[in-house]
Amino acid sequence: MMPVENRLMANEKRAVHIMSNLNAVADASGQVVVFPLHRRSGAVRVAAAKLLRSRTAAAANRYRHTLAQEKFAELAALGLSEDEQDEAVGAFLTEVEREMAELHYERIRLHV
């Protein structure tokens, strides 16, 4: 994870902390606001493509498990509760599955 960067707004009274490649911000009260995992389209596409390229179901399951653990660790480091982490990672993996189905359909459509 990238180190926290501080940026002062024009009024210099509020600091906004940019974390993890702009995926989370802390407002002036210190509450962390995370950009939803399932909306990170680049990460979703990469994960879906890697899962589709997996040679075996066991390899896909290992990758899915590793991916989930990485996302849990990222969210835990940002201070999210376990319930919030579960919801966010679940939504991310659901979006990955949706993207996999879309990519698979595209492949079929292009080859027919």
What is the tens place of the pLDDT at every residue in 24-46? 665 667 676 777 788 888 999 99
7 pLDDT above the threshold of 50:
no
Q: Same structural domain for residues 10 and 57?
A: no
Backbone angles phi, psi at 27, to 5 degrees: -80, 180
Q: Same structural domain for residues 59 and 8?
A: no
Which residue range is the domain that position 22 belongs to? 1-35
CA pair distance 80, 87, nearest whole angstrom: 11
| DSSP reduced 3-state for 78 | coil
Q: Same structural domain for residues 46 and 1?
A: no
- How many structural domains does the chain have? 2
pLDDT in tens, 69-105: 999 999 999 888 999 999 999 999 999 999 999 999 8
Distances in whole angstroms, Cα of residue 68 to Cα of each of 30, 39, 52, 58, 107: 26, 15, 16, 15, 26
Q: Same structural domain for residues 29 and 42?
A: no
